[in-house]
Chains A and B, each alone.
Chain A
Amino acid sequence: MHSEVGASGRDRKGPRRRAKLGRALLAALALLPCLAEAADTQPRVAVLRTSRIGPFADAIGALETALRADRRQPEILTFDLEAGGDVASAMESVRRSAPAVVVSVGSLATSLALEAAPPLDAPIVFSMVLYPAESGFLSGGRAITGASLDVPPREQLSTLQRLLPEAHSVGVLYSPRETGAVVAAAKPVAERLGLQLVSEAVDEPSKAPVVLDSLMKRVDALWTVADGGVFTPQTTPALLLAALRSRKPMLGLSPGQVRSGALAALVVDYEDVGRQTAEIVGSILGGRRAADVPITHPRHVTLALNLRTAELLGVKIPPDVLSEAHVLVQ
C-alpha cells in the first residue's frame, strides 16, 4: 500500500519548505517599514455620539461596518458625549486624536462639535440630523456636510397627495424659531403640487392644541414637521387625539405616532443613513473637500400606515399605496 505522506516523503520536502519560509520572513522584514508607514498614514475618523442605542446606534453600527470595508481602512475612534458629561474634556480628546474626519451623530453632537473651542481642525460630517440648514449648522463657514434625516417636503407632500387625492388644503403647525424656514420652503413646493399649505405659528408648545383646533376647521389634512416647539411629550398625545376626533388625517412623524392614531408616517431606514454617512466620509478621505460633497437625504424611506385610523376617517387607501406600505395597525 502506497502512502503519499510517508516519513520518507516528509524528509524529501523538508529543505524546500524551509527555503520558502526563509524567503517569506525576509520579505516580511523588508515590508515592515512600509507597514509602519501605512499605520502612520491610516486615517482616523472620530465618531461623536450622544447615545449608544436605538436608531442612533443602528446608524453608527452601519457606519462602522461600511468604514471597515473602505480600502483606506480608517481607524474609528468613538467619543461619548453624554448629557451632563464633561464635553470639554471629550472635545480635547477628539482634538488630540487628530482625526481626518469628525462624524457627529445627531443634532446635539453636531452642535457640540461646531461649538468646540478651540475649533476642531477636521471637517465635520454630520449624520442623522434633521434640518441641518435651518439649525444653522451650515452657516458658520465651517467645513461641514453630512447625511440628513430630512425627507424632502416634495416627497412628503406628494405622499400625502397619493394617500388623500381629494385633499386640497393641508395644515401644519410650526414654531417660527425652529421650523419657520422649513415651512416657508415647503409652501412653493405645495403650490407646485396643487396643494394649499396653511401654516399656523405656535409661540409655545402648550398652546399647540388650541392653535390646532382652529387650524383643523380650515384644512383637509395635516402635515407635520419635527418641531420641538410643537411636539412635546405633553402636547403630542393631545394633538394626535384632536386630529382623530376632528377626522383630519395626519401625516405624522414616526411609527409611534402612527400607532397612536396618525394615519401615516414616512419612516427612514436609519442603517442606510449610516451607510450614506460612510460614503461621505469615504469621499472626504479620498480627497474631496467637505464643501464639495453634497448633503444627502434618506434614500430608503417606507410608508407606515394605521388602517384603523383610515377606517375611522373613511379614508380608502389606494391599492398601489397599500401594497408598498408597512402596515402598523390594522
Chain B
Amino acid sequence: MAGVKLEPTKRPVAAVSWYVLALAVVLLGASLAGAAPPPAERELLLFDEVVVSAAGKRLQVESDAPSWVSIVTQEDIRRFGVRTLGDALALVPGFYGTYDRNYEYVGVRGFLRPGDYNNRILLLVNGLTYNDDVYGSAPLGYDFGIDLEAIERIEVSRGPGSALYGGNAIFAVVNVVTFDGTTMPGVRPLAETGSDYRWRFQSTLGHRFASGPEVFVSGSYLSVDGPGKLYFPEFDTPETNGVAVDLDGESAGNFYMNARWGDLFLQGGVNRRDKSIPTGSYGTVFGVPGTSTLDGRQFAEVLYQTALRPDVQLTARGYYGGVTYRGRYRYENEDGSLYVNHDEATSNWFGGEVRGLWTLGDWNVLTVGAQYDDHPDVRQRNFDPGVPPYIDDSRSYTNWGVYLEDEVRIAAWLSVVAGARYDDYYDRIGEFSPRVGVILRPLQSTNLKLLYGRAFRPPSIYEQYYAGDGDPAQFANPHLDPETISTYEIDLEQGLWGEAHGTLALYHYELDDLIDPVQVEIDGVSGTKFENGPAASAYGLDVELRQPLPYHSLLRSSFSAQRVRSQGAQLSNSPSYLGKVELLFPVPLGPFDVDAGAELLVVSPRKTLAGGEVGTVNTLNLNLWYETPLPNLVLTLGLYNLLDQRFEDPGGVEHVQDAIAQDGLTFRTQVRYAF
C-alpha cells in the first residue's frame, strides 16, 4: 500500500481565510481607486477587439480576459481542413496532439500524462461542461459528438479556470461556441470521402421564424475503414508478422440541436462512436478482430437569461448529461480459444447553475454564481460473460460550488480581475481556487497581463473505484487527493506594424499530487493503482505572431519552449519545443477561385514511458477550398502529412508498444452545398 495517503483533504480554514482576506483587500482597494476612472480615448472605439466569452463566464473582449485567449474560427476549421476537435486545438500555440489509434489526446504546455483521457482540460459547449463524470474526460476525436461544421468558434483560455468553473480546469478551458438559427441559416449538406474508404455525410439546418424563435440542427454519419495494414514490430511473430489487418475501422453518428426563443436557450445532442482497436492494448490478443470501444454521450440544457434591471443580468440553467462506454476486449483462454471481456461504464447526471452579473457603470463587473450537480448512479463494470463480474461498482455522489469574480477598471490603462470559487466533491474534498489578474495597457496596442491562479482536478470515479481482482489486478484508491496547480504567468500582447499582432507568454506552473497509474504489489498481488505522485513543475514561454498579408492571406506562426520536470527528470510525452506555421492564401489558378490553408507542425522529441524517445514530428498539411462557378457549391481537398513523414506518438500504460506509428499521407475531399 506504499504511497497511499489516508488523511482527509479538506484545506485548512486558515488558508481559505487568507485567500478571502487577500481577495477582499484587492477588491476594496480597486473599488476605492476606481471610483472615478478617466474616460477612454474616444478614437479607440474605431480600433479592433475580439469577442470571447469563456474566460469570464460572460461576453468580454479578449484583451480584458484574465488569460491568454486563442480563437479557432469556423474559417480556420474550413480553410485548414480540420477533421477533429483535437486537430483544431493543435492549431493553438502551446498545444500538441497525440493519437493512440483509439482516442485523441491533447497536451498543453508540455503536460500530457498517460491515461488521463484529457481530464486536465475543461471542455465546454456554449458554456456547458462537457467532460464526463466517470473519467472526467474531454472527448476530442470523433467521439466529441458535435460536427465541426456546427461550430462558430473555439475559444481556448490557457491556464487555470477553476476560479470560475471548478474541477478539471487545470491547463485550459476550451469553450466550443456553436452556430444557431441566426448565424447559420439554411440547409448546408456535405458529402466527403478520402483515404482508407472514408465516407461521411453531414448537414446543418438553421432557421429563424418570423415570430422570433430560431432553431439549429446538425447531424452526421462517418464510416472509415482505416489503414488496411498496420505494422507493430512488438507483435512481430510468425502468426501475425506484427500486422493488424483491417482492424482500425471507425464509425460515428452525431446529432446536435439548439433553439432560442426570447431569453430562453435550449441545446442538446446525442452521439455514438465505435472504434476498432488494432494495437493489442490491455494485453488483448493482437491481430484478431473484436477488440473495440463504443463511446456515447447525450446531453441537454435549458438556459434562461434575463435582465432584472438594466445593470443586473441573471442566468439560470438546468442540464442533463449522460455517458456510455462499452469496451470489448478479446483475450485468449488457456486452451487457445478466444473470449470477450466486457468493460463498461455508464452514468447520467443532472445539475443546475444560477449566475448573476452586476455591472456598475463602466468600471466594475461583478459575477456571482452557484452550481450543484447530482450523479445518482455512476456505474463501472468489468466482466466475462457467464462468470461473476470482476468489477461491478455503482455509486452516487454530488458536487457543488460557489464563485465570485470582480473585474474593476481602475483606469483606462489598468484593470484588476480577482475571483475565487469553493468546490466540494464527494463530500470529502473541499477546494478553494483563487485567481487574480492585473491587466495593464501602458500603450494603446500593448496589453500586459500579470496572472496568478490556482486550479484543481478531483480524482475521477474511475481513478478511485475501478478495482477488481482480474489479471492484472486493479486496486481502488478512494483516498486520492485532488491534483492542484498554481500558475504564475506574464502575457504581453502587442500590436506590431500594420495589422500584425504578437503575443509573448512566460509562465511557471507548480503541480502537486499528480495522479498517475502506478504498478504496486498488495498482499502478494501485483496490479495497477492510481496514486498521487510527486510534484512537477514547468517553466516555459509561448510566442505567437499573426501577420495579415495582401490578397486575404494570413500568416500565423508560433514557437513554444517548455521545461517540465518531476523529481529532476523530464516528464514523458513532453516536448521541449513546439513550432507552428499556419498560412492562409489564395492560389492563383487562372479562372478558378481557390483558397489554400497550409500548416506546418513541429514537435520536438518526446520521452516515452519506457524511457525511450520518439523523434521530432514534422507534419505539413495542405487544404484547398474551391468555390465553383455553380452558386453555393464548394469542393475541398485536404492532404494530410503531405510529405509522408514517418512519425510516432508515445504509447500509454495499456500498450505493449512504447511508441505508436501514425498515418503517412492521407487525403480527404468534400462536396459542400448551401440551399
Contact = CB atoms under 8 A, between A and B. Distances in A.
Contacts of B60: 233-234, 237
A128 B43 contact: yes
Interface string A251-268: 001111001100000001
Interface stretch (A27-35, A166-174, A200-208): A200-208
Nearest to A85: B442
A53 interface: yes
Contacts of A232: 362
Contacts of A210: 307, 310
Given A131-B42, A256-B50, A312-B185, A206 B445 contact: no
B495 A106 contact: no
Given A207-B311, A236-B49, A54 B183 contact: no
Contact of B42 (A226, A245, A259): A226
Contact of A233 (B46, B48, B64): B64
Contact of B361 (A55, A107, A204): A204
Interface in A210-268: 210, 226-228, 231-234, 236-238, 240-241, 244-245, 247, 253-256, 259-260, 268
Contacts of A84: 411, 413
B308 to A, nearest CB: 11
B22 interface: no
Contacts of B494: 53
Contact of B46 (A178, A207, A234, A254): A254
A226 to B, nearest CB: 4
A83 B42 contact: no
Interface residues of B, number: 46
Contacts of B41: 50, 106-108
Given A204-B361, A233-B61, A107 B42 contact: yes
A68 to B, nearest CB: 20
A51 B49 contact: no
Given A51-B443, A106-B43, A312 B182 contact: yes
A82 interface: yes
A130 interface: yes
Given A237-B61, A247-B208, A256-B50, A53 B43 contact: no
Interface string B181-220: 0110100000000000000000000001000001000000
B446 interface: yes
A237 B51 contact: yes
Contacts of B359: 206, 234
B51 A260 contact: yes
Contact of A206 (B42, B61, B310): B310
A135 B310 CA distance: 28
Nearest to B442: A82
Contacts of A206: 310-311, 359, 361-362
Interface in A170-218: 178, 204-207, 209-210
Contacts of A209: 307
B587 interface: no
A247 B214 CA distance: 12
Contact of A238 (B42, B59, B445): B59
A149 interface: yes
Nearest to B409: A233
Interface in B37-64: 38-43, 45-51, 59-61, 63-64
A228 B47 contact: no
Given A50-B444, A233-B49, A107 B43 contact: yes
A130 B310 contact: no
5 contacts: A130-B42, A205-B361, A228-B40, A312-B182, A312-B185
Q: Which 9 A-B residue pairings sit nearest by Cβ, starting from the closest?
A: A256-B48, A51-B444, A207-B310, A54-B445, A237-B59, A237-B51, A206-B359, A226-B45, A53-B445
Given A204-B361, A231-B45, A256-B50, 6 more contacts: A130-B42, A206-B361, A226-B43, A228-B45, A233-B64, A236-B49
Interface of A: 50-56, 58, 82-84, 106-108, 128-131, 135, 149, 178, 204-207, 209-210, 226-228, 231-234, 236-238, 240-241, 244-245, 247, 253-256, 259-260, 268, 311-312, 327, 329
